[in-house]
Amino acid sequence: QSALTQPASVSGSPGQSITISCTGTSSDVGGYNYVSWYQQHPGKAPKLMIYNVSKRPSGVSNRFSGSKSGNTASLTISGLQAEDEADYYCNSYISTGTVVFGGGTKLTVL
Amino acid sequence: EVQLVESGGGLVQPGGSLRLSCAASGFTLSNDWMHWVRQAPGKGLVWVSRINSDGSSTSYADSVKGRFTISRDNAKNTVYLQMNSLRGEDTAVYYCARADPRVVAINSPDYWGQGTLVTVSS
């Protein structure tokens, strides 16, 4: 159950687009379309932004999109806004029936 | 309003036990897969355990397997996490979270509680 690999930090200016990667193996990210992405602001509970690789829950802005290629999933945020500054985590279902999170990525809006 | 409220956290000595509870209000969790996720101070999210809707299937992270037990009482709309043989590295905020398989994937909880802090220290 090794954590999925995410960059520690990414940054972008308002209005720009950024992409956060999440790399796993064929036993997790690559093996299932069960990748999710969470946004967490300091002191708050995580918020689901993307599930099943690319689906958005009701109420989540369409500026957030997800994709996957092989063992790497990606979260793209377009039209960056100040309120997007937060920590982002990916997670995946694993073949053992468990779940694993990525190490998290801190997004800074410059 | 949909709410998950965790309780039972606190200070415990190494080797001790705690039982966390997660009570749902505003909805019934009998259809939901329930998860416990923890976050050590200043660190990332770590998945701990999950239980399916009727309690017949459970899974655990390797780091807690054999020490923690997840269970549920649908009649009480509550999920539990029994934590035994606690270690310093178990210190974290523990979140419970639900995933309704009719709405989201089972690994994608969409409602989270605010968390309860567990501190393991002598």
DSSP letters for chain A = -PPBB--SEEEE-TT--EEEEEE--TTTTTT-S-EEEEEE-TTS--EEEEBTTTB--TT--TTEEEEEETTEEEEEE-S--GGG-EEEEEEEE-TTS-EEEB--EEEEE-
Question: What span, in angstroms and rounded, lies between the C-alpha atoms of B14 and B17?
Answer: 9
Give the gap in angstroms from C-alpha B45 to the nearest C-alpha of chain A: 7
What is the CA angle B38-B4-A57, rounded to 5?
85
Average pLDDT over residues B87-97: 98
Q: Is the pLDDT of residue B109 over 90?
A: yes
pLDDT at residue A96, as a whole number:
78
Q: Supply A44's token pair.
A: 């708050």
As to burial, measured by CB atoms within 10 angstroms (0-12 exposed, 13-18 middle, 19+ buried), residue A61 is middle
Suggest the residue from A33, A48, A55 to mutate for an interface test with chain B (most B CBs closer than 10 A): A48
pLDDT above 90: residue A101:
yes
Query: Which residues of A, range 31-50, sit inside 8 Å of B by Cβ?
Result: 34, 36, 38, 40, 45-48
pLDDT at position B1 is 85
Residues facing residue A69 across a β-bridge: A72
pLDDT at A1 over 80: no
Q: What whole-number distance in Å separates Cα of residue B23 and Cα of residue B17? A: 20
Q: Tell the residue number behind the tokens 């690789």, with chain if given.
A: A53
Token output for A89: 């985590």
According to the 3-state scheme, what is the secondary structure of B35-48? EEEEECCCCCEEEE
Q: What whole-number distance in Å separates Cα of residue B18 and Cα of residue B69? A: 11
In this predicted structure, what is the pLDDT of residue B3?
94
Rounded to 10 degrees, the C-alpha dihedral B23/A41/A87/A15 comes to: 140
Q: Scan residues 22-81 of B and list those with Cβ closer than 8 Å to A.
A: 35, 37, 44-47, 50, 57, 59-63
| Mean pLDDT, residues B84-103 | 96
Cβ atoms B95, B9 nearer than 8 A = no
Is the pLDDT score of A95 beyond 90? Answer: no
pLDDT tens digits for range B30-65:
999 999 999 999 999 999 999 999 999 999 999 999
B112/A45 Cβ within 8 A: yes
Residues of B in contact with A57 (CB under 8 A): 103-104, 110
* Least CB–CB distance from B44: residue in A48, A51, A101: A101
